[in-house]
Amino acid sequence: MGKPCGETCRKKCPEKISEERQSVVHRTYWTMTYMEKWTFIFTMVSQRAIKRHTAPVPSRRGESLVYHLTDDLGRPQDICKAFFLTTLGYHPKNDRLKWEEHKGRAEAGRHHYRADAERKEADLTIRSVDLQKVIMLPRMPGVKTAVFTKRISAFHETFATARKKSATKKKSISVIWHEGIAGRKAEEVASAYITALWKERNITRVICWLDNCTAQNKNWCLLTTLVSVVNDPTQAVKEVTLKYFEPGHTFMSADSFQHGVELEMKRQSGGAVLDFEDFRNVVASSNSGKVEVVEL
């Protein structure tokens, strides 16, 4: 444990939390799993709700956070950041805590995703959803200057099944389109969801796992589209849940599905995918054909 904040501290932390109590908190903290540590920090650190006239927008910097530890009697005490961090065993000047929290959240996300993949309810579909990076057609590796035809961009939104058990495993759904039909703005991505949802008309509940790309996955267009689908009496689906991975820690079935599409493109003669029809066939034969390809 590091040195506590000392007698000059305005919050008088050592008077609130005894050294014995500090050791207990410290020892307990280091027996915790990442998820438990994260929960502990989440519970003990909160954002201060004061309005400062100098800052119209609430600051999210460290200064605006309030730190607590419970004393010998279990009462939460308001303490300073340095005391909080040194009690847990972190250096108050480094960012390890932030990193721990991030890592804890990433672990919690993976755990939650794996648990979802084991679910067996028949009226529930669980998919990981991702937009593949743009594919330029014709795609002819090694041929850079000889092709004078105008190239078009093809898009592919993957709705990969997240389930592992063969009894509940479904085919993945690939929604594809090209720039002649639409671009890759929020509207098109939202349309891709509608198209994919139509493929499972008997399903009442949907869980989509997404990465944290704000433009694609966290926009009002997508959210309002999904709200209108859920409220449409002609649609079976009554519940859509979006779940997001911690940034930089995305690990989902859509990634491996898209890797399968990349491999299938390389497997073509000369790695050539000449037009949209070719691309459609490549996606359809990728991943051992366990996919339903549908055009937007």
Q: Is 208 one of the binding residues for Zn ion (CB under 5 A)?
A: no
Q: What angle do CA 181, 185, 186 make, to 5 degrees?
A: 120
Shortest separation between residue 73's beta carbon and Zn ion, angstroms: 19
Counting residues that bind Zn ion (by CB under 5 A) gives: 6
- For the stretch 284-293, contacts whose Cβ atoms lie closer than 8 Å and that sit 24 or more positions apart, written own/partner, are 284/174, 286/257, 286/260, 286/261, 287/172, 287/257, 287/260, 287/261, 290/171, 290/172, 291/171, 291/172, 291/173, 291/174, 291/257, 292/171, 292/172, 292/173, 292/174, 292/199, 293/174, 293/176
Residue position matching structure tokens 């929290």 = 101
Cβ 225 vs Cβ 197: under 8 Å:
no
Minimum Å gap between C-beta 67 and Zn ion is 9
Residue 210 is a binding residue for Zn ion (CB under 5 A): no
Minimum CB distance to Zn ion, residue 81 (Å) = 8
The answer to whether 108 touches 114, Cβ cutoff 8 Å, is no
Q: Which of 11, 102, 184, 290 binds Zn ion (CB under 5 A)?
A: 11
Tokens of 78: 């308001």
CB of 6 to Zn ion, least distance (A): 7
Q: Indicate whether 17 belongs to the interface with Zn ion (CB under 5 A).
A: no
- For residue 182, state whether it binds Zn ion (rule: CB under 5 A): no
CB of 72 to Zn ion, least distance (A): 17
Check binding of 9 to Zn ion (CB under 5 A). Answer: yes
Out of 13, 88, 283, 293, the residue judged to bind Zn ion by CB under 5 A = 13
Among the residue ranges 13-21, 120-128, 152-160, 216-224, the one whose residues contact Zn ion (CB under 5 A)? 13-21
User: Smallest distance from the beta carbon of 172 to Zn ion, in angstroms?
Assistant: 54
Measured between alpha carbons, how far is 296 from 210 in angstroms, rounded to an integer? 20
Considering only 38, 67, 83, 159, the residue that binds Zn ion (CB under 5 A) is 83
With CB under 5 A as the contact rule, which of the stretches 73-81, 85-93, 174-182, 253-261 interacts with Zn ion?
A: 73-81
**φ and ψ at 245, to 5 degrees?**
-75, 155
Residue 139: DSSP 8-state: B
| Contacting positions for Zn ion (CB under 5 A) | 5, 9, 11, 13, 80, 83
